């Protein structure tokens, strides 16, 4: 009988261990399930966040592209208008030139600088006013264009200016005959 009791206690002990192990296993499964769900939620949130960021970037790029195209069209229209205005002003100015002024412009023996000085001495008040107006229009246009440029465009213009300056210096040192009349270009 002692043996039966001992076996009974052993079986009860084993049963208690199994029940305890089952409870621990169930707890572990619940923790793993909760952790897995939490990780899946975090992964899903990260994926959604990444997808949203990618979509926003694509939308922003498209908007910037559209805005840039619109700005370029607008700038091109403005440039055409300004160019036409310049041509009209040049034609109007040419119409006011006297025979003496035309002769100065056609004189092949004079340098550019000499022609410029000679013309300035014989401009009428009307011509001086037209030149002043043209200068103001050019300045306004330059400021408008300058304000619409990107930094990359401004840098490109600076680089082009440096290159032209180097070329002008080379021409002047080579003795091109115009006495450095194109200084600053």
The DSSP line for 86-126 is HHHHHHHHHHT--HHHHHHHH-TTS-HHHHHHHHHHH--HH
Give the tens place of pLDDT for each residue, 99-125. 999 999 999 999 999 999 999 999 999
Give the tens place of pLDDT for each residue, 145-156. 777 777 888 788
Domain extents in the chain = 82-145
Say which residue, 181 or 97, is predicted with more confidence.
97
**CA-derived radius of gyration, the chain:** 43
**pTM confidence score:** 0.44
pLDDT, position 108:
93
Give the tens place of pLDDT for each residue, 68-99. 777 777 777 777 887 888 888 889 989 999 99
Query: CA torsion sign, 121 to 122 to 125 to 126?
Result: negative
């Amino acid at each position: 009988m002692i043996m039966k009791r001992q076996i009974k206690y052993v079986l009860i002990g084993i049963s208690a261990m199994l029940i305890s192990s089952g409870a621990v296993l169930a707890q572990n499964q619940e923790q793993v399930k909760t952790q897995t769900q939490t990780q899946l939620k975090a992964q899903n949130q990260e994926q959604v966040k990444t997808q949203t960021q990618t979509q926003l970037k694509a939308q922003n790029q498209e908007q910037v592209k559209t805005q840039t195209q619109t700005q370029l069209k607008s700038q091109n229209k403005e440039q055409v208008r300004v160019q036409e205005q310049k041509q009209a002003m040049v034609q109007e100015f040419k119409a006011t030139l006297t025979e003496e002024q035309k002769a100065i412009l056609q004189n092949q023996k004079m340098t550019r600088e000499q022609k410029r000085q000679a013309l300035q001495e014989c401009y009428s008040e009307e011509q001086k006013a037209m030149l002043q107006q043209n200068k103001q229009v050019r300045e306004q246009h330059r400021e408008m264009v300058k304000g619409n440029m990107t930094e990359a465009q401004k840098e490109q213009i600076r680089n082009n200016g440096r290159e032209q300056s180097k070329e002008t210096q080379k021409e002047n040192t080579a003795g091109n005959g115009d006495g450095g009349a194109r200084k600053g270009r």
